[in-house]
Chain A
Amino acid sequence: MTPPPPQTGPPLLEMRGITKRFPGVIANQDVDFDVRAGEVHTLLGENGAGKSTLMKILFGLYQPEEGEVLLRGEPIDITSPSEAIDARVGMVHQHFMLVPTMTVAENVALGIKSDRGPLTDLDAVSERIREISEAHGLAVDPDVEVWRLSVGERQRIEIVKALFRDAELLVLDEPTAVLTPQEVDDLFVILRRMTEEGRGIIFISHKLHEVMALSDRITVLRNGRVTGHTVPAETSRENLAEMMVGRAVKLSPHRPDVTPGAPRLKIRGLSVVGDRGTRAVDQVDLDVFGGEILGIAGVSGNGQRELAEVVAGLRKPEPGTSIELDGQAIDSASTRERRDLGLSYVPEERMRDGAIGDFTVSENIILVDHGSEKFSASGLLNFGAIKDHCNKLVEQFAVKTPSIETPTSSLSGGNIQKVIMARELSAGPAVLIASQPTRGVDIGSAEYIHERLVEQRDRGTATLLISEDLDEVLGLSDRIAVMFEGRVVAIVDHDDATREGIGLLMAGVFDEEPATT
């Protein structure tokens, strides 16, 4: 490979004094950011800090109100993605920009002038893709349709797309959010090889251990402003978290020792057909004891969602499934009956299944029990009682909202989740299913939600925690069940669980003794 160019002369990219406003928010305020050839410069910040906005400005998707962009020392005005591509800027977006119904080669070829005029030239494109994937260690098959591929493979295609256009500066917006630990390691090797070729990389993440592992330099954004620069050698995860949030945070909650009680949720032979018509969950047996959090680890799409939906009563299992809550069979009970028996559910799609955006905070809080005698009499709502109840919960769960009459959709993700948690925990559930409880939630709220989950466990609730955030599962769970292709392939005690061990199980390496890498 070519040696990295000497670090003299202008940086590859300089963004100076960038300001971008959206109605009601300043997404970027006077942001300075630069990248040198051959380095990984990380942009770290909470959800909503303005990272994607800054990168979309670089890529010509948004125009800044103020500030300038210099590429290789020259001022440049990028007004569309094609201009960015021409300037050799490549971007792997947070949400993949792929057409699932088209082949890998077609996806890569989109927007590129064909040598055959109006006709596509997919053979030549496939050939180049093979060359690129060989040169960079990116295994992809150009002829398969994208919908058949795993998330890890899709991400490699995104990188191939950028390399195909010979990007010299590559932006990766939260590329690891959906990868297994092993896939993350592989990705980092690929990225390192690219910097050795003299390309510059902007890495966006809020996963602190990854940021520490990969970055040459780190810039932290908070509420649209740069709040600090550092390098991994001079900082720590706690330190970075503090720069992101603006105050000290506990990264994993204290879990006092609790002796688990009797099994409160008992699942036997649970199988269910998923949306694709294939078996999404295959013969799962699980016991969740009172006073324990059972975490489910797994790459998304391995049956976790369907499992949660079956237990919650939103999806019909196959015959032969048995689910018991405190000894009562609930597998054919309605959601109402399940709730009455003490089941609570914090759904993964919080704005679809968990709350009604147009409803006020208080309406969402009483959504599941507005018919109970606490809140209504002969069909009429008792507004006084509702108000007292909601005000109490809003305070107790530290929901930041102007009032309980505010439409829920105008709250931040973290606060909406707190509203849902307040509703689901206020009943003191026997069994709690929490799906992705802190996804897209700010660190402060996540910290708070974690404390609440542990507190509920200490009170004897049996919690089934489903999360794609391995750190969350490792930090909260008493036991960890790993799901792979619809089956529970292992259950590991908290004290025996390691990132690497769980990561291998998630990737489907479990038959023989775990491979050592």
Chain B
Amino acid sequence: MSEFLTLTVIMATIASGIRLATPYLIAALGETVGQRSGVLNLGVDGVMQLSAFFAYWTVLETQNLILGVLAALAVGLIMGLIYAVVTVSFHATQGISGIGIFLFGLGFSDLMFQRQVGTPRPIKQLQEYGIPFLSDIPQVGPALFEHNLLTYAAFLMVPIVAWVMRSTTFGMNVRAVGENPQAADSLGVSVARTRYAAILIGNTMAAIAGAALVLQLGIFQPNLTQGLGFIAIALVYFGAWRPVGVMGGALLYGLVNATVLQWKAQGIIPRSASDIAAMAPAVLTIIALVVLAGRVRPPSALTRPFTRH
């Protein structure tokens, strides 16, 4: 009987790990596309923050989840456009521009929240849908095949992004521009246009990640992301700029997070130590990054603005 209970607990933890992994995965996949084109965006967290707020506010006012996601998308497009203009057209240093985007997202979402909402009120959450038949498998079914649409979309995007990068001319251009923009330019590939597109993809995905986060929680608060966007950037390195690797990192992160939460709830971790335990995922990521360092190589032109002269 107690064994049964343990299995149930494990399955519940896995389900919650997958759910927790969703925003990381979407944001990190988007950042992967951007980085493969040679553009590092440290502003992911800010974009997530801001789009999470607008998704929340829209749903609060309209009770319409789809409108909420669309609002987040619009925020992502605008932020992406700003970032592209600054870093691609004006060749600004990517590191500091990204930090600017982050601070803006953090501050502006807070300001908007204080003015427009004030005290947190819950909103409609994303609903979970079981995949027919698969979700009926005992134990495993509900854990793996009963999730919200954004979670499904996130995992579906893994093969899609991999395929786009590998098999389309756009993907080829992105890779070329990230490795050797001079070479791409000499063959008539527009470095600027390719990077604009990659940045817009990266930012809209960060925005969807923000929406996923807030719509899974059903509530907004200032600094909702708590650095989640930065972890997503680390996951891109962790995954060696490959969608499947990034997915592995996001899942690991989500599962460790879920386990820590579970243990806290069950009292396995004493209250006093729970803050330290909460650092476990971050520590794991750092360890993984140190182990991986030097074995994988970032895109050669990462963070380097392109000019002909």
Contacts and interface: CB of A to CB of B under 8 A. Distances in A.
A118 B168 contact: yes
A97 B176 contact: no
A99 B183 contact: yes
A120 B175 contact: no
Contacts of A161: 187
Interface string B185-200: 1111100000000000
Contacts of A101: 175, 179
Interface in B156-205: 167-170, 172-173, 175-176, 179-180, 182-189
Contacts of B176: 99, 102, 106, 110
Interface stretch (A77-85, A301-309, A437-445): A77-85
A120 B308 CA distance: 27
Contacts of B184: 99, 110-111
Residue from B169, B170, B173, B186 having most chain A Cβ neighbours under 10 A:
B186
A120 B183 contact: no
A100 B180 CA distance: 8
Band of interface residues on A: 20 to 34
Given A102-B175, A102-B176, A114 B169 contact: yes
Band of interface residues on B: 20 to 34
Contact of A85 (B169, B173, B188, B300): B188
A315 to B, nearest CB: 17
A119 interface: yes
Interface in A93-108: 93, 95-102, 106-107
A99 B180 contact: yes
A158 to B, nearest CB: 10
Given A81-B185, A98-B180, A110 B167 contact: no
B175 A97 contact: no
A284 interface: no
Given A81-B186, A85-B188, A118-B169, A61 B308 contact: yes
Contacts of B180: 97-100
B260 to A, nearest CB: 37
A120 B188 contact: no
B134 to A, nearest CB: 31
Contacts of B183: 96-99, 107, 110
B90 to A, nearest CB: 20
A111 B182 CA distance: 12
Contact of B169 (A59, A91, A100, A120): A120
Given A81-B185, A81-B186, A111-B189, A99 B169 contact: no
Contacts of A59: 186
Contacts of B182: 95, 97
Contacts of A99: 175-176, 179-180, 183-184
A442 B100 CA distance: 46
A237 B309 CA distance: 34
Interface string A139-150: 000000000000
A102 B169 contact: no
A109 interface: yes
Residue from A81, A111, A161 having most chain B Cβ neighbours under 10 A:
A111
B172 A109 contact: yes
Nearest to B186: A97
Interface of B: 167-170, 172-173, 175-176, 179-180, 182-189, 300, 308-309
Ranked nearest first, the 5 interchain pairs of A and B with the lowest CB-CB distance are: A82-B188, A111-B187, A97-B183, A111-B188, A97-B186
Given A106-B176, A114-B169, 5 more contacts: A85-B188, A97-B187, A110-B172, A110-B173, A119-B169
22 contacts: A61-B186, A61-B308, A62-B308, A82-B187, A82-B188, A85-B188, A93-B186, A96-B183, A97-B183, A97-B186, A97-B187, A99-B179, A102-B176, A102-B179, A110-B172, A110-B184, A110-B187, A111-B188, A111-B189, A118-B169, A120-B168, A120-B172
